[in-house]
Structure formats: structure tokens, C-alpha cells
């Protein structure tokens, strides 16, 4: 179970001490956080907090790497379960909710789609429906949650959507995104999918690169939110704890908000 924010912050603060600028923080983070946490890392480095060496990818795969012995100090996941698994295994400290996201539908240009028609269009046998890979990537797990919600609206929807979903990203053998570009926008542009269920922040990034691509909000009955969890490994450096605190700071949270995340630590 994730600790309350105040308790988590107190635990981290007690472990704080002056760090040297020469220290390098090893960050493992969800791919959807690439732009936001890269920006946060630059601010941290500029403030003299040390260098941040980041590895971005599917949170489930990163969690498995860390559990298998890969060296990491800070883990920022697109769900709470993966960092909680590391904490339960005594590999890390408390897990803190540090950002929230939502799922959206990214659609190819010219594809007729509205929130009200989303379920019909996803179920249409002619529609190519793209998702990330469940278990390996929380985005895929959230898509499957959408499918389960669809079942309450129309019997048989969940099985039909699971069967037709094209798991195009976030898996161990999925193709990487071109350098500096959105994998979701690329897949839509290549015609691999007509609709891709992905994070709203990722859909916005794809649309910035491909302005004709559409973003459609999920209707309330299908809406799924994503809670992002942060944890610091037990053997992490002082600089790593400071970077975790920096992500939770007002400056770090404002940066996350700038990239479209809901920042729960910011005062309302």
C-alpha cells in the first residue's frame, strides 16, 4: 500500500544530506514521462543537484529489470502497482502518488470519431484498434480496463475488444519510437491503427508532431484514470533522494502540470 504523502516525505527527508554535484542519479521512468521528467532533470541539474541518467520505457518491463538486479535508484512508474511490488519486496522505500493521467483515443486524420460513437467504432470489425501491451506497459492494462467498462454497456464487448486489440507498443519486442518522436503518432501515421488508446499526455505529444491526428476524450462510462507512483531504492545515493524530493516539489509538480499531467502535490 502506498504511504500517505506526508509520511513518505518525512521518510525521505530524514534520509537527506548534502549531495555533491558529481553524483549521478539513475532514473528508471515510464515512457510517458520522458518529456516531463527530462525537463525536471534539467532543472535539478541546473540547481546543482547532480546529473540524472534516465532510462525510459514500459513500467512493467522496467520493474522486472530492477527486480532482476538492474541498477536503478529512482523509479517513476505509470501505475502504483509496479513500485509497490518493489517496496513489498524490500527493494525500495515508500511509494508516493506524484502524478495523474487519463486515457484518450488518438485517431487517424479523417476518421469519424466522437466520444458518443467511440465504443461502436472500436467494435467495428473494420477498425484497427491499437493498444500498448498489458502487464508489460500500464497503458495496456488501462486499455483493458476500458474494455471491462465496455462490457457493462454492451454484453460481449470486453472479449471482442480484447481479441481484436493490436498490442503495438510497450512490449518486449515492440519497435522503439524514432528518436525524439511519439511512437503512437508514428503508428497512426503508418496506418498500423485507426484508433490508439493511449495516455492523454501522449496523445497531445503525438498531435503536436502530427496536427491532423485527432484526440477524442473517452465518455464518462468508459473513462479510465492513471495514477503514477514514485519510489526510491533502498541503496540509493543522497542525490537520488534529493531528486525524488525535487519531483515532489512545487517546481517539479509545475513542470509535470505543464506537460498535461495532474499534479497532486500542488496546492489546489
- The Cα 160–Cα 151 span in angstroms is 10
Q: Quote the mean pLDDT of the chain.
A: 92
- Mean pLDDT value across residues 12-29: 68
Global pTM value: 0.91
- Nearest CA-CA partner of 98 in 260, 256, 268: 256
Residue located via cell numbers 525536471: 40
CATH placement of domain 5-100+226-258: 3.40.190.10
Domain ranges in the chain? 5-100+226-258, 101-217
Each residue's pLDDT tens digit, 127-150: 999 999 999 999 999 999 999 999
Q: What is the topology classification, in CATH, of domain 101-217?
A: D-Maltodextrin-Binding Protein; domain 2 (3.40.190)
pLDDT above 70 for 17: no
Return the pLDDT at 23: 84
Q: Tell me, yes or no, if the two domains 5-100+226-258 and 101-217 fold the same way.
A: yes
pLDDT tens, residue by residue, 160-197: 999 999 999 999 999 887 888 899 999 999 999 999 99
Amino acid at each position: 500500500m502506498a504511504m500517505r504523502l506526508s509520511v513518505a516525505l518525512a521518510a525521505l527527508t530524514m534520509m537527506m544530506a548534502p549531495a555533491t554535484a558529481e553524483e549521478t542519479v539513475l532514473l528508471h521512468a515510464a515512457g510517458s514521462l520522458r518529456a516531463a521528467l527530462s525537463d525536471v532533470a534539467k532543472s535539478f541539474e541546473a540547481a546543482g543537484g547532480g546529473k540524472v541518467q534516465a532510462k525510459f520505457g514500459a513500467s512493467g518491463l522496467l520493474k522486472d529489470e530492477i527486480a532482476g538486479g538492474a541498477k536503478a535508484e529512482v523509479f517513476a512508474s505509470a501505475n502504483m502497482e509496479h513500485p509497490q511490488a518493489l517496496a513489498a519486496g524490500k527493494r525500495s522505500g515508500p511509494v508516493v502518488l506524484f502524478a495523474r493521467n487519463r486515457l484518450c483515443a488518438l485517431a487517424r486524420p479523417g476518421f469519424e470519431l466522437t466520444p458518443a460513437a467511440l465504443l461502436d467504432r472500436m467494435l467495428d470489425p473494420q477498425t484497427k484498434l491499437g493498444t500498448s501491451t498489458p502487464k508489460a506497459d500500464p497503458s495496456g492494462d488501462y486499455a483493458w480496463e476500458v474494455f471491462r467498462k465496455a462490457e457493462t454497456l454492451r454484453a460481449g464487448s470486453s472479449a471482442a475488444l480484447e481479441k481484436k486489440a493490436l498490442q503495438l507498443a510497450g512490449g518486449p519486442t515492440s519497435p522503439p519510437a524514432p528518436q525524439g518522436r511519439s511512437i503512437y503518432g508514428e503508428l497512426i501515421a503508418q496506418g498500423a491503427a485507426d484508433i490508439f488508446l493511449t495516455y492523454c499526455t501522449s496523445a497531445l505529444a503525438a498531435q503536436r508532431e502530427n496536427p491532423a491526428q485527432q484526440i477524442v476524450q473517452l465518455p464518462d462510462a468508459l473513462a479510465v484514470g492513471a495514477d503514477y507512483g514514485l519510489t526510491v531504492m533502498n541503496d540509493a545515493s543522497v542525490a537520488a533522494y534529493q531528486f525524488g524530493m525535487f519531483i515532489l516539489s512545487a517546481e517539479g509538480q509545475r513542470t509535470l502540470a505543464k506537460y498535461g499531467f495532474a499534479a497532486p502535490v500542488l496546492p489546489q
